[in-house]
Structure formats: C-alpha cells, structure tokens
Amino acid sequence: MQATNAIDLGPSLRAELESMICDESGRPHPKTFSTPRTACFCRLHDKYMVDFVKSPAYSGYLNEISTQIETTVELPRANRPRRTTSSNSDAQSSSADSLTSAFNKHIETLEQKRIELDNRTPVNSPRSQRSTPRSSRLAEVDELGRYHALYDDTHSYSGTQKTPSRIKSTLRKYLDKTALKEEEIAEEVARSIILDMQKLVASADSPR
C-alpha cells in the first residue's frame, strides 16, 4: 500500500486493515492481511496472468511440454490425443509399441535375475549365512587395531613359536591384502601413540 508502485486497494480495504492491525490486545489480528492479500492476488492475476496465458510464448511452452510427454511417457490409449492424419497416428503407435516392448523386456530381465538369486539362496538358512560372503577375506582388524583370524589358525604356527608360518604368510599376502594393509597402518599408529606417551612421561618426570 505504500510501495513505489502501489496497488490501489481502495479506502474501505485500507480502513479495514488499519482497524485490524492493532486490536484491543495491542496485537495484530491473525487475519489482518488475508483480505488485502487476496485483493493483491486478483489484481496481479488480472493484470499479468490473463495476458501471459494469451501470449505466443505460453502457447509454445505448452506445445513443447505436450510433445515431450507424448514422446517419452506411455499414456493410456483413451487419453491419447487423436491425430488427424494416419501417418502421425502410425508413427505414434509404433513409437509407443517399441517403448512398451523395451520396458517389458527390461522388467522380465530384472524378474529373471531376482528369481535366480532367490533360487541360489537357501530358504531356511540363518541370516548370517544369507549375507554377502566375505570372498577371500581370511582375517580382519578391529577398531583397536587388533588382528583377528576368520579361520582356524591353530596349525598356522610352526612348532610352539609364535612366528607365523610360511603358509599363513602366503595366505595373508595373496588373499587378504586389504586386512594386511589395515593391520600395518594400525600397528604404525599404535607405535606412534606409544612413542608420544613415552615422551610425555619422560618430559613430566624430568626435573624443571
């Protein structure tokens, strides 16, 4: 109402707004701006929207959307716009049939893959057995950097010594490269932490 290009809402609407903007409680009424907002919408619609809908730009925009929908979206036969020429109708029908055929073939392929996967998965097997296999992983490193074997490694040590045998070393080298790398990083981090702690203790014990 006080803008540079104000919308003329009339004196009655202005008086209503002024009376509702501060009621007996000293606060604006919840519906103070409802009527002015509706009036502004109507004025803007009459001034701009009517002319815009009649403009060539809007018509071209609608035609572009309509063409894109007809060529990319499979619509029911009853809702399809009728063509005046038989050539356009035949081309549209051929395009729709090819799209439908390709879509159905894709769905059949996905369904066949799902059936094959279900057939390979035992129905009554525990959930842990139905999960994704660990492939060639034979060990893992936990959050604390500790190495845990995922297989029976009672025979992987030579004699009573705790040094890994050649069998275990070979397996870890070729079948568990990721876990081995994680273990090396964890050991390096652990050594760094221990070294830092030793330096802190030594500096705290040293006389000042």
* E strand intervals along the chain: 139-141, 147-149
Convert the pLDDT of each residue in 45-78 to its tens digit. 888 887 888 888 888 888 888 888 888 876 666 5
pLDDT at 127: 47
Using pLDDT thresholds of 50, 70 and 90, give the confidence band for residue 197: confident
Which residue would you say has higher pLDDT here, 59 or 127?
59
How many CB atoms neighbour CB 54 within 10 A? Answer: 9
Q: Which helix (H) or strand (E) holds 164?
A: none
Tokens at residue 13, please?
A: 């609407």
Convert the pLDDT of each residue in 83-92 to its tens digit. 555 555 555 5
Phi/psi of residue 159, nearest 5 degrees: 70, -140
Residue type for position 35: T
Say what percent of the chain tops pLDDT 70.
Answer: 51
Convert the pLDDT of each residue in 151-196 to its tens digit. 665 555 545 555 556 666 666 666 666 666 777 888 888 888 888 8
Compute the distance between CA of residue 147 and CA of residue 17 in angstroms, rounded to an integer: 76
Compute the distance between CA of residue 18 and CA of residue 107 in angstroms, rounded to an integer: 64
Domain spans, the chain:
11-76+90-105, 139-205
Q: Which residues contact 139 (CB under 8 A, 6 or more apart)?
A: 147, 148, 149, 150, 151, 172, 176, 179, 183
Per DSSP, helices labelled H in 82-176 are 86-120, 127-130, 166-175
Asked if residue 137 has pLDDT above 50, the reply is yes
